């Protein structure tokens, strides 16, 4: 077993190299809102992200190859193939929300994709759309048109990313819908292995990378209650915080409420108890 050498710090994860070909991604309990890491942590959040991603990587292996090699006993560490990451955030939207909704209101389009007139906030789109963004090393990711995104990775790779992203979204959205959760939108990161093969990486279908809405509460024409960070975003917005560093401390009830939402998303989607995951993380891979 090669020694783990620290090679990077993301907003949420610490990255370690395990030799030349593998990485250890360790998900912390840090939470970022509007790309700002808050001073308060959410206990077990990193374990929920790691467990849910592992679960989905195992479930979607047939749709698209991915980087997962194994989960460690701490429940927050993923061993994976080290890839050359592509410089795009592959966003898929099945519903009109967040920056997609803002863009639609201004231009009736999202990332250059024209949409029908008369859509309301949170409306379901007749077909999911692929709306990639830049992968900013600091600050906010910027929306791209299909042409701009294709320029960054090449036309052929772009088409492959779009196809894989939409297919993965459809698969998980159907799976989650059957368990009472709407995946309104999501984001993937892909890399390329030594053979030039496209490989799904990072985290997938977690509350950090996706908007999860409880289906029984869904009603278009307004913002939705959610399992994800919206709860924290709403709290932060209620303070009139200007979305720049430093972010606000979170009070105990917001911490507890957020933790409960993360754990609930985990349990509803995996149909496993979070305690069973803590006892043996690889239970999500079976």
| Contact residues: ligand ATP, CB under 6 A | 10-13, 15, 23, 67, 80-83, 85, 137, 189, 191, 201-202
Specify the residue, 141 or 167, whose C-beta has the smaller distance to ligand ATP. 141
Q: What does the alpha-carbon distance between residue 16 and residue 5 come to, in Å, rounded to a whole number? A: 5
Closest to ligand ATP by CB, 123 vs 193, is: 193
Q: How far is the CB of 85 from ligand ATP (least distance, A)?
A: 5
Angle between helices 252-270 and 45-60 (to 10 degrees): 20
- Closer CB to ligand ATP, 90 or 176, in the complex: 90
β partners of residue 244: none
Give the separation between CA 73 and CA 89, rounded to whole angstroms. 29
Cα–Cα distance for residue pair 84/76, rounded to 1 Å:
23
- What's the min distance (Å) between Cβ of 96 and ligand ATP? 24
The least CB distance from residue 137 to ligand ATP, in Å, is: 6
Q: Cβ 98 to ligand ATP, closest distance in Å?
A: 16
Give the C-alpha separation, 155 to 125, whole Å: 25
Decide if 81 contacts 228 (C-beta within 8 A). no
Minimum gap (Å) between residue 144 Cβ and ligand ATP: 16
Residue 13 or 47: the one with the smaller Cβ distance to ligand ATP is 13
d(CA 100, CA 132): 11
Which C-beta is closer to ligand ATP: that of 179 or that of 243? Answer: 243
């Amino acid at each position: 077993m090669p020694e783990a050498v620290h090679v990077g710090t993301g907003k949420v994860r610490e990255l370690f190299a395990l030799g030349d070909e593998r990485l250890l991604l360790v998900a912390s309990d840090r939470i970022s809102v509007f790309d700002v890491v808050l001073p308060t942590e959410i206990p077990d959040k990193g374990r929920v992200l790691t467990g849910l991603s592992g679960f989905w990587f195992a479930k979607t292996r047939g749709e698209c190859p991915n980087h997962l090699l194994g989960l460690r006993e701490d429940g927050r560490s993923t061993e994976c193939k080290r890839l050359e990451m592509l410089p795009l955030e592959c966003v898929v939207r099945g519903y009109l929300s967040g920056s997609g909704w803002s863009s639609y209101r201004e231009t009736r389009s999202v990332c250059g994709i024209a949409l029908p007139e008369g859509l309301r906030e949170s409306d379901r789109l007749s077909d999911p759309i692929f709306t990639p963004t830049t992968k900013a090393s600091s600050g906010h990711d910027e929306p791209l048109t299909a042409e701009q995104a294709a320029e960054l990775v090449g036309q052929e790779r772009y088409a492959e990313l779009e196809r894989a992203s939409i297919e993965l979204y459809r698969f998980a959205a159907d799976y989650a819908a059957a368990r009472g959760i709407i995946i309104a939108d999501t984001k993937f990161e892909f890399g390329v292995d030594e053979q030039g093969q496209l490989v799904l990486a990072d985290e997938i279908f977690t509350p950090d990378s996706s908007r999860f809405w409880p289906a029984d509460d869904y009603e278009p024409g307004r913002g939705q209650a959610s399992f994800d960070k919206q709860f924290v975003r709403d709290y932060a917005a209620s303070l009139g915080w200007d979305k720049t560093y430093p972010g606000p401390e979170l009070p105990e009830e917001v911490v507890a409420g957020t933790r409960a939402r993360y754990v609930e998303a985990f349990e509803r989607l995996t149909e496993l108890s979070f305690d069973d995951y803590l006892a043996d993380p690889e239970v999500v891979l079976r």
